[in-house]
Chains A and B, each alone.
Chain A
């Protein structure tokens, strides 16, 4: 409200905060809140803005949709701490102060409110006691002895008048009087009369009447309080008599016939309301509830005057009563002589007249024969053809369409029955075109094909031979697609091969509309059985068709196919167990074993045999995250942009010219040296070689037909600009010495284990011993790997490592500061003398260095002894490497000593 008003004022141009706008003219009542200050509490708030608050202003609903009751501590104990245990206070000292706890102490304000609400001003359950009051009053009147009065009031319980009684008393009412304005004597007498008539004791009223008559004059001068209304005493019905029966009544009396008593003079007039002395007893005034007179009159259940016509038959109509008089209960007698019940009258005409129709004329020769009818019905069911027409005029009209379609005739059938010449129509099948001889031949072939299965499948014959029996064969349609799918799907009748064969035959016939396979009922099968069987097939085709599309991909078929029991053709001949079954089981066991063996993949087999190696290994390309490469200080093996593609491609082709070189190449690329076990050579190329060429197959490399792009670069080769050469050759003489040093290390993956042997062999990868070892299959029992003993190696490397350690020492001193943080003790230096075991020590530093180097692209820093450095260096320009590589397959060895995508040396390009 206020906001709207504010807006309106704003539109007009009135500042709501100005003094004028807020001027108060309110003289009476509460002024509206000032415009700019508070919101009108009665203002409309949209439902979602409304908040439920309790009487103390606490929010009651909280939560996401304010649907929950107040969370937190609001509804619990009212403190953030919740229930905290009370600190123990000894109550020993102030036991006296302690008082009994009342229930109210444990009630909260709401409970107290409830109590207050439930307290009533007037207790309706209080008993009223008029007598004591009366006594007190009368005593007060008679002897006003204050002492006794006080004593009495103290002794006697206080009066328990209800509030109504007390009010009435205040208004002048006395106990024993009636309520109402005071009345004259006459009226009072009338009242008395009425009361007496009600009770029926007329005698009691007569006596005072005489006495009263004397002083009527005097009495007329006064007004009187009205008589007290008699309390209606409803007698409790504690017997089991029927209503209106009093003990001692005779049977007749109870029936209402007052044979001995004689008819009563007049009906009792209800003495309730507004019946003056002069009023005639009308029908309406008769006491409805007068038990004594019930029998006398027959009454209507509803107002007779509303009903004008006398059509009803009733418990006694007024017409009748007027005719025969109301008091003729025994007048009617039933035809059999029994008296009509009192209150009932014999009806003159029947309640409902039956209608009678004359019997049809029965043909003279007719004899009832129900059997004929039944037999007719049965035959109708079985043969729903021509007979039907005899019974029903037009069976076709009565049949619903669907039924007609399945059970009715086709036009051809009808025609054949009627003997029409068949119309020239499209022939049914190929067979119609065939000569009889061909047909027979085909039939023979088919029979020979199907005879073993004895399933009753037969090639379709020309339809005329099928005859009228096939008319009722119903073969339900199945969608060709479903049928096609179901053929390949689950075999639901695997346990019953005959059925399964029929099922598949059915599916085939449905799947291919042009197929000539049809089904016929088995010899022992009735038509209805056959039909139900077909229905079953159609259903199971729908149910068991394999899932298609996306769903099918998520499931796999069971490894174990459940075949039904093997059915032996021909008659069953009981088998005598004398050996063969054992053979069978044994052979099946062996089979199973063989199957198990077979099911193992070659990999598992190899693992089981202990033939680890190429069989158990599989290599797949894997893309490490870029960040991971960065953290490891490794160049991304497959960089995403395709710009470098020509280089890698051409280099890979160049390497893969010679399989042996590529194999050793791959070995080197994986950071291993072939020195320790010269196993990596020609034969291994097959297993590991795939990785070198990427997606290419090594076997096909170089054959020329598998790569369309091969040789294209040679044809479209353009000589690169001079400065490219310059860039290469200028740096060459500076780098060459370092490169040579690097080359030795390049094969070594681990920077710390400097292995001179690796360097030496890496240059000549196909050394003699390696080839020898590799050719023979590894026998775990006799095979002895040729290890160079660790100690021996270290002695060899001592010279090398000494040099390194000097370098490392320098770096380590710097590192030491960092190590202080750790639990590395002060003897750390000792460990330095020992063999290389701290690869990480210098890595961190080098990382930083590397980063710099990659940025600057500086070449040949002397500290580089890690071949990692080679990876971060810029690759050779692609255009240069491409042609030269192709020309030079003979340098495989030298190339092999390098990582495949490493930097090319100038030597390669010469």
Chain B
């Protein structure tokens, strides 16, 4: 297929399997920059750092007392934040492998943490239905602000330069616009488990637990596209954009990785996709720059790096 006509096919060749975790892998994230490294967090209370191309485990970060549910890497790759069942956020120094900060305050397990663009503010969304915004510049331990609009657990946060977007189990996607001083809540109607905006921040990929992935226009809340076919009704399966945002990729609860064309919402071949994980795929993330690489993490304890055959 000519690359000019359709989107690039999904990277479906298993490059390497990262199987160091002893339980389900809840999150897998690329490092920033050239994204040569992968950070995974799992049910076994560890965060592991991997070399994506070699598949070697570089480091294990041990401090969590409960499962790790979320990881966010700072823009300079010098630190990252992780959170999970132990109700406080751990900010790590990558090189030393120690926590530089532990931010307690949430009343429930923290499902998601996210740095802002310059890692001066950290946002965390928790089961206690609040989003707390932490100041990493100052030494104060109190959050800058607590966003308490959500009625249920926060499952997803995204921060861009001026907007904080949260996805909550109560079925809302809330965008806190700092410039306008406005909160725009879009009712999706089903528990929202992931929110991924496009690069231009004009559309939002919303994964919800009704086996739908919706592309929402951020300006007026209209649904531009809806991607279906996969099974996602009880787990957080984060969908993401494929390379250059031409496709939408999502792993589902049966261990299959689905891909859709962004524009016509058609399932890409093969349909149905092969089952690549034995259990639910918890996280899908495409390489930020490399067209032919993506990672999936699964509850079967592995994280897999996929590449195009070259």
Contact = CB atoms under 8 A, between A and B. Distances in A.
A750 B200 contact: yes
B222 A750 contact: no
A790 B245 contact: yes
B161 A625 contact: no
Contacts of A753: 199-200
A830 B219 contact: no
Interface string A787-806: 10111001000000000000
B191 to A, nearest CB: 12
Interface in B137-195: 137, 144-145, 160-163, 171, 176-189
B214 A612 contact: yes
B288 interface: yes
B117 A839 contact: yes
B221 to A, nearest CB: 3
Contacts of B264: 784
Contacts of A607: 171, 187-189
Interface string B66-85: 00000000011110000000
A637 B222 contact: no
Contacts of A631: 116, 120-121, 135, 137, 144
A675 B215 CA distance: 18
Contacts of B183: 619-622
Nearest to B212: A610
Given A750-B200, A784-B263, A824-B31, A837 B77 contact: no
Contact of A822 (B94, B133, B188): B94
Contacts of B214: 612
A828 B186 contact: no
B161 A680 contact: no
Q: Among A612, A667, A691, A838, find the residue whose CB has the most chain B CB atoms closer than 10 A.
A: A612
B61 to A, nearest CB: 12
Nearest to A751: B161
A687 B33 contact: no
Contacts of B162: 632, 634, 671, 749, 868
Contacts of A825: 34, 36
Interface string B26-52: 000001111111000000000001000
Interface stretch (A177-185, A281-289, A406-414, A840-848): A840-848
A613 B217 CA distance: 8
Nearest to B219: A672
Interface string A224-264: 00000000000000000000000000000000000000000
B288 to A, nearest CB: 5
A610 B119 CA distance: 36
Given A637-B179, A637-B181, A750-B200, A843 B118 contact: yes
B244 interface: yes
Interface string A615-642: 0111111111101110111111110000
Contacts of B31: 823-824
B180 A637 contact: yes
Q: Among B32, B77, B94, B220, find the residue whose CB has the most chain A CB atoms closer than 10 A.
A: B220
A154 B145 CA distance: 100
Contacts of B181: 621-624, 636-638
B144 A627 contact: yes
A817 to B, nearest CB: 11
B77 A823 contact: yes
A822 B219 contact: no
A180 B64 CA distance: 93
A617 B221 contact: yes
A603 interface: yes
A632 B161 contact: yes
A574 to B, nearest CB: 48
B188 to A, nearest CB: 6
B178 A604 contact: no
A612 B119 CA distance: 33
B75 to A, nearest CB: 3
B244 A749 contact: no
A449 B214 CA distance: 59
A794 B199 CA distance: 12
Contacts of B223: 610, 612-613, 778, 780
A847 B116 CA distance: 13
Interface string A839-876: 11101100100000000000000000000100100000
Interface string B257-284: 0000011100000000000000000000
B310 interface: no
A667 B218 CA distance: 10
Contacts of A843: 75, 117-118, 161
A52 interface: no
Given A671-B179, A815-B76, A677 B245 contact: no
A616 B180 contact: no
Contacts of B288: 837
Contact of A617 (B37, B120, B220): B220
A667 B182 contact: no
Given A607-B189, A628-B144, A790-B244, A612 B182 contact: no
Contact of A821 (B35, B58, B78, B224): B78
Nearest to B4: A791
A15 interface: no
Q: Among A674, A753, A755, A790, find the residue whose CB has the most chain B CB atoms closer than 10 A.
A: A790
A613 B226 CA distance: 14
A628 B34 contact: no
B219 A680 contact: yes
Contacts of B189: 604, 607-608, 616
A684 interface: yes
Contacts of A679: 217, 219-220, 222
Contacts of B13: none
B216 interface: yes
Interface in A854-910: 868, 871, 899
B98 interface: no
B187 A822 contact: no
Contacts of B62: none
B209 to A, nearest CB: 13
Given A631-B144, A821-B95, A612 B179 contact: no
B246 interface: yes
Interface string A523-561: 000000000000000000000000000000000000000
B176 to A, nearest CB: 6
B149 to A, nearest CB: 8
A834 B289 contact: yes
A521 B264 CA distance: 76
A848 B186 CA distance: 35
Contacts of A868: 161-162
A311 interface: no
B241 to A, nearest CB: 9
Contacts of A215: none
A623 B146 CA distance: 11
Nearest to B291: A834
B145 A617 contact: no
A673 B202 CA distance: 8
B100 interface: no
14 contacts: A607-B171, A616-B188, A622-B176, A624-B176, A637-B181, A688-B220, A749-B160, A750-B160, A750-B199, A783-B224, A791-B244, A824-B34, A838-B33, A843-B75
Given A607-B187, A612-B221, A634-B162, 20 more contacts: A622-B183, A624-B178, A631-B120, A635-B179, A637-B182, A638-B181, A672-B219, A676-B200, A677-B219, A679-B217, A687-B220, A749-B162, A750-B199, A751-B161, A785-B215, A818-B76, A821-B76, A823-B77, A831-B34, A847-B120
Interface of A: 603-604, 606-608, 610, 612-614, 616-625, 627-629, 631-638, 667, 669-674, 676-677, 679-680, 684, 687-688, 691, 749-753, 755, 778, 780, 783-785, 787, 789-791, 794, 815, 818-819, 821-825, 827-828, 830-831, 834-841, 843-844, 847, 868, 871, 899
9 closest A-B pairs by CB: A637-B181, A840-B75, A607-B189, A822-B77, A617-B221, A622-B183, A612-B223, A613-B222, A625-B145
